[in-house]
Structure 1
Amino acid sequence: MTHPLDRPVWSALTSERQAPLAVGAGGALRLAPGYGVFAASMDQSPQGVAAIAALDQPEGMLATVEADHTPVPPGLTVLKAAVLSQMVLVELAPAKARDIAIEPLTEADAPAMLALATLTEPGPFFDRTHRLGDFFGVKQDGRLLAMAGERLKPDGFTEVSGVCAHPDARGRGYAGALMRAVIERILARGETAFLHSYADNVGAIALYHSLGFTIRAPMQMRMLTRGDLAQGEPGA
């Protein structure tokens, strides 16, 4: 039986919590524009894969995350391809004593969140991405320095995402502290926390291990586009 996290995007887009944010037809779905560019088909049949190509792309791209290598949908080209390490929380490690003021982020923080994500590029982030779940941040004199939050929500699971810090504020332990705040909220709901990292991001993976995550599986990430910006897929 396929594990829900083998197809995290499809599992999220058909889940009780995030199905209302799914748009599409013909056996393929994507997050509603403004929330994200993640897309998936019901299965990997030629018809299912082709349905991805029919999805709207107002952002100029779509993103897929799958455990298995899948065909490129006809009419689309690969803008970027990468191997991700999917990690699942086994047990949250004991907290270290840190004097970090963490606060929940609200709709009023949305412009600052988008600006920070645009600067630091923690992953696809748009003007409504912050509405996918709870986000926490660290501010100094009203300026948002770091944040972390939630993204994909398959039934029983929640993805930790949007983890980033301004270049001026790195090395202060903000990422780990903010992730802990997000994880504690996930655990309080009786869910399992998971996340994705580029497989070659040794520093980030070491941080996630220190929090209690373990690598579950490699995942194949693709950014797909109808435009002429594609550079081809490594190894293809």
Structure 2
Amino acid sequence: MTHILDRPIWNALQTAHAGIAEGGPLARRYPPGIVPFAAAADDTPESLEALAALPRPDETMALVEPGSATVPDGFDIVGAATLIQMIARTPHDPLSDPRITPLTEADAEEMLALAQLTKPGPFTLGAQKLGTFWGIKNSGKLIAMGGQRLRQTGFTELSGLCTHPDFQGKGFGKLLFRYVAGHIAASGATAYLHVNALNTGAIALYKTLGFEQRWELNLKIVRRRD
């Protein structure tokens, strides 16, 4: 029996994020200004043709699928990784901390700069359109953040967790992890996340924070061939 998280991109675009999805019944994507994720309904030629028609020539698509994501004809793979999907074993308790504040559109430039510095995964100025982000600031500057990205019925992805290198090792990442996971649990959803399979340190850390591995996925970033 399949699970809604087995194909997280397609199922998010079919459920909680259907209202912002571009495309149709055979292929869908997020607006590229929000996040580059896209998915075909299946591997039929018709669905792959519909997927190929979504991006403009200067845009990339990020495909995340179990097994090996099928790349449409006329596209080159410009990046790839194996992802580990992890899910909360039990709901996290909500917590509060005066250092943590909701981030707004006014923080978008700082959020993007922090993400580009620490590389937690695909991140854009429009990331907040997918869910709330929270941060910790020092002297008015953003030094750590975490928030929500993909959503499916009953599930919310914890994402964008990162800390400025000058402030790592002070527990800010763990604090924000627990905060976001607790917020997701309080909403009635189950928290989950994706992490690069090569990042064994993060995987070990997330296990100590109450998450367990449930699925392996493959990421392919593709671009239309000139």
TM superposition score normalised by structure 1: 0.89
CA contact (8 A) 1:88 1:192 kept: yes
More strand by share: 2
Structure 2, unaligned stretches of length 5 or more?
Answer: none
Structure 1, unaligned stretches of length 5 or more?
Answer: 229-236
CA contact (8 A) 1:64 1:222 kept: yes
Equivalent residue for 1:127?
125
Verify: 1:190 aligned to 2:180, yes or no. no
Give, as a single letter, the amino acid of the residue that structure 2 aligns with 1:151: R
Equivalent residue for 1:181?
179
Q: Residue by residue, what CA displacement relative to the aligned partner does 1:29-61 show, whole Å, maximum 9, x if unpaired?
A: 100121100000112222212321111247621
CA contact (8 A) 2:63 2:221 kept: yes
What is the distance in 2 between the residues matched to 1:56 and 1:205? 33
Equivalent residue for 2:144?
146
The alignment-based identity, stated in percent, is 47
What is the distance in 1 between the residues matched to 2:153 and 2:109? 29
Equivalent residue for 2:156?
158
CA contact (8 A) 1:78 1:223 kept: yes
Equivalent residue for 2:64?
65
What is the distance in 1 between the residues matched to 2:144 and 2:113? 11
What is the distance in 2 between the residues matched to 1:189 and 1:93? 11
What is the distance in 2 between the residues matched to 1:163 and 1:217? 20
Aligned length: 226
TM superposition score normalised by structure 2: 0.93
Shift of 1:25: 3.3
Verify: 1:167 aligned to 2:165, yes or no. yes
Q: Residue by residue, what CA displacement relative to the aligned partner does 1:63-112 show, whole Å, maximum 9, x if unpaired?
A: 0111122322111111111111000111256899xx88211112221111
What is the distance in 1 between the residues matched to 2:142 and 2:135? 7
- Of 106, 110, 113 in structure 1, the residue corresponding to residue 111 of structure 2 is 113
CA contact (8 A) 2:12 2:18 kept: yes
What is the distance in 2 between the residues matched to 1:206 and 1:58? 39
What is the distance in 1 between the residues matched to 2:66 and 2:29? 18
For the structure 1 residues 173 and 227, does the alpha-carbon distance in structure 2 shift closer, same or farther, using more than 3 Å as the test? Answer: farther
SS in 2 for 1:103: strand
For the structure 1 residues 171 and 59, does the alpha-carbon distance in structure 2 shift closer, same or farther, using more than 3 Å as the test? Answer: farther
Shift of 1:172: 1.2
What is the distance in 1 between the residues matched to 2:86 and 2:140? 33
Equivalent residue for 2:2?
2
For the structure 1 residues 31 and 189, does the alpha-carbon distance in structure 2 shift closer, same or farther, using more than 3 Å as the test? Answer: same
What is the distance in 2 between the residues matched to 1:151 and 1:94? 20
What is the distance in 2 between the residues matched to 1:158 and 1:167? 27
Give the root-mean-square deviation of aligned CA atoms.
Answer: 2.1
What is the distance in 2 between the residues matched to 1:82 and 1:100? 37
